[in-house]
Structure 1
Amino acid sequence: MLGSLKVLFDTVRSGGAAEASRSDGVQEAVAALLVKAAQLDGAFGADERRAIEVLLASRFGCAPDEAGQKVDGAIKDLESSVDFYGFTRVIRDEFDHDQRVELMEMLWEVAYADGVLHDYEASLMRRVTGLIYVTDQESGAARKRVMQKLGLAE
């Protein structure tokens, strides 16, 4: 509760800068998780990068070049990060349940951007599902929606 009051006072005092900073943190966390999913199979290709940029532009209403900058920033963040748990904590704290399910759908879309699900990508999905408090059933349903959207057979 005290944390919420501090955020409220910071937002009022800074004219919304705290809210913008929190929004930037969420966007960075989402971008980092999407890039992590794309990198796990050892080949971060143009198809995966394009899928991430489209997803970021669509989700956050930004221009394609800004989405590209977010991807570049996420790559740098992941290079200097030992794990991705900090990113999932941001998502868990800032997204409501439906938004977290939507993120799982975005992650599945990146994992299937090259048409194949690698074992490491599947492992990441299972870990992220638990870390952001999405059920296996909800993640599975998100996966099926993505496969149908991309025209992939189950």
Structure 2
Amino acid sequence: MISVLKRFLNGTAGGGNTVRTNSERDVTIAVCALFVEMGRIDGTFSEAETNRVISILTGKYELDRQDVDALIAEAKQALEESVDLWQFARVINENFSNEKKEKLIERLWQVVYVDGRMDQHEHYLMNKLSHLLRLSHQQLIDTKMKVLHGE
């Protein structure tokens, strides 16, 4: 992948120390799997949600569209083969600082609110992910408010 994503995953972009125990590929797939799952949790992966995920991956992580398409396909396959989201959260917990996990949750909120509302499935998944990523309820709410207030 591109050097910015490597720096992000290695902990040199965005600050914070990170313990590296998994390959960059594993971490990248884990992050993307959470975006894909959030996009499709309500039964449809809408065009707006797809575009937001692509925008996050191309903009925030500076990936080109081909890399993003391949990454999304690989993440979808990993989700199909997984029993639950714990395996993805474990990889993220082992490699991300608390600050980076908050940023990830903030970007997941962006996917939730791309259509201007949150349904019950998205609400459930955000609470589940904050728990799996070992973030407090306050951190979940703070990141939500950042997204809702355009910070």
For normalisation by structure 1, the TM-score amounts to 0.79
What is the aligned residue count?
131
Which protein, 1 or 2, shows the higher relative CO under an 8 Å CA cutoff with sep ≥ 6? 2
Cα distance in 2 for residues equivalent to 1:105 and 1:119? 18
Contact 1:54–1:64 (CA under 8 A) maintained in structure 2: no
Taking every aligned residue pair, what percent have the same amino acid on both sides? 27
The offset of 1:80, in angstroms, is 1.8
Return 5+ residue gaps in structure 1 as ranges: 1-18
Q: Does the Cα contact within 8 Å between 1:32 and 1:75 map onto a contact in 2?
A: yes
For residues 119 and 80 of structure 1, the distance between their equivalents in structure 2, rounded to whole angstroms, comes to: 25
> What does residue 66 of structure 2 align with?
65
- Which residue of the partner structure matches residue 141 of structure 1? 142
Structure with greater Cα Rg: 1
Question: 1:72 offset after TM fit, Å?
Answer: 1.6
- Give me the CA root mean square deviation: 1.7
Corresponding residue SS for 2:73? helix
Equivalents in 2 of 1:136, 1:30: separation in Å? Answer: 20
Query: What is the match of residue 22 of structure 1?
Result: 23
State the AA in 2 paired with 1:91.
Answer: I
Q: Is the 8 A contact 1:29 1:90 kept in 2?
A: yes
Q: Distance in 2 between matches of 1:94 and 1:58?
A: 21
TM-score by length of 2: 0.80
- Alpha-carbon distance in structure 1 between the residues aligned to 2:47 and 2:119: 17
SS at match of 2:114: coil
Deviation by residue 1:61-107 (Cα, 9 ceiling, x = unmatched): 21122112211211121122221110000010000110000010011
Superposed counterparts of 1:5-154, under 5 Å: 22-149=23-150
Contact 1:52/1:71 (<8 A) preserved = no
Segments ≥4 residues shifted beyond 3 Å: none
Instruction: Give the superposition deviation at 1:147.
Output: 1.4
1:37-62 deviations in whole A, cap 9, x for unaligned? Answer: 11111111111111111112234321
- What is the CA-CA distance between 1:118 and the residue it aligns to? 1.1
Q: Give the secondary structure class of the aligned counterpart of 2:91.
A: helix
Query: Gaps spanning 5+ residues in structure 2: where?
Result: 1-19
